[in-house]
Amino acid sequence: MEQQADAAGFAMWLFLLTEVMFFGGLFTAYLIYRNWYYPAFVAGSHQLDVRWGTLNTLVLIISSFTMAMGVWCAETRRRSGLVLCLILTFILGLGFLGIKTVEYSEKIEKHHVPGLHYSLQSFTHPETDAAAVKAGDKPLPPDMARHTEIYFSLYFAMTGMHALHMIIGIGILGFMIFRARAGAYTTGHVTFVENFGLYWHFVDIIWIYLFALLYLISRHA
């Protein structure tokens, strides 16, 4: 039994390693294009609302805390505590996705979704765009402005993949809440909760990198 839990934990770490490689491909693409098209990336990032991003970072960090508490509750066999923690994590996860939806719909309205109808208006004529005015953007030459589409391609690919992981996580959380109420994890079989905790923290950490890389590009001393 102990050997099995041990093996499952090790397997989970290996799985997270494959996840690191999975996101690694995206981070590599980001690194290259940010070096090539730095001004476009700065202008693109000014179109994101740092307040939403910060709020979402907080939401996820708190959800990681509630998840960690959940693992502790499972280990110390507190059933109602575990259920409460899982439900809180579940709600916070949904909250994150809700905020993300608000952000995405802003992008759709401003035609900042790469592909069809992508608009360069905010970058070639920043005076017409509130967010760009606020950041004090200068007009980008058309050639560089075009590359903001790469920035938004990466923005959607990276946050999209992250959101997909969140959705999968929330699905599993729902299943776990159901099982935890029946007392499945508070009789000593905590492996599943522990491994899910690892997954949840991993998704959280990915977000923290995404937040810094996508929202805070030009915000340094």
Partner 1 sequence: MSATIVSLPDQSTARIPKVNFLTKENGLLSWLLTGDHKRIAILYLISITFFFFIGGALAGLIRLELLAPQSDLMATDTYNKVFTMHGVVMIFLFLVPSVPATLGNFLIPLMLGAKDLALPKVNLLSWYLYVVGGILVLVTMITGGVDTGWTFTTPLSTHYVNTNVLTTGLAVFVAGFSSIFTGLNFIVTIHKMRCPGMTWFRMPLFVWAHYAASILMVLGTPVLAIAIVLVALERTIGIGVFDPAKGGDPLLFQHLFWFYSHPAVYIMILPGMGVISEVISTFSRKRVFGYTAVAFSSVAIAVFGFFVWAHHMFIMGVSNYAVLVFSLLTMLVAVPSAIKIFNWTFTLYKGSITFETPMLYAFGFMGLFTIGGLTGVFLGTSGTDIHLTETYFIVAHFHFVMVGGMLMAFLSGIHFWWPKITGRMYPEKISQLAAVVTFIGFNFTFFPQFILGTLGMPRRYAAYPPEFQILNVFSTAGATILGVGYLLPVLYLTWSLRYGEIAGNNPWQATGLEWQIQSPPLTENFTEIPIMDHEAYDYEWLENQNLARQKAKEVASVG
> Which residues lie near partner 1 (CB under 8 A)?
3-4, 6-8, 10-11, 14-15, 17-19, 21-26, 28-29, 32-33, 36-37, 40, 113-116, 146-147, 149-150, 152-154, 156-157, 161
Our CB check for partner 1 shows the closer of 8 and 168 to be 8
Our CB check for partner 1 shows the closer of 59 and 140 to be 140
The residue length of the chain stands at 221
Our CB check for partner 1 shows the closer of 44 and 70 to be 44
> What is the Cα–Cα distance from 207 to 194, expressed in whole angstroms?
20
CB of residue 201 to partner 1, shortest distance in Å: 19
> What is the Cα–Cα distance from 161 to 23, expressed in whole angstroms?
8
Alpha-carbon torsion angle 133, 152, 217, 67, nearest 10: 120
Closest CA to 110 of 100, 123, 98, 94: 123
Our CB check for partner 1 shows the closer of 82 and 145 to be 145
CB of residue 122 to partner 1, shortest distance in Å: 16
CB of residue 159 to partner 1, shortest distance in Å: 12
Half-sphere exposure of 8 (CA within 13 A, CB side): 15
CB of residue 162 to partner 1, shortest distance in Å: 12
Angle at 86 between CA 204 and CA 69, to 5 degrees: 70
Our CB check for partner 1 shows the closer of 4 and 220 to be 4
CB of residue 175 to partner 1, shortest distance in Å: 16
CB of residue 21 to partner 1, shortest distance in Å: 4
Our CB check for partner 1 shows the closer of 33 and 65 to be 33
> What is the Cα–Cα distance from 50 to 117, expressed in whole angstroms?
25
Alpha-carbon torsion angle 179, 185, 189, 193, nearest 10: 90
Task: Please state at what angle helix 2-36 crosses helix 191-210, rounded to 10 degrees.
Answer: 10
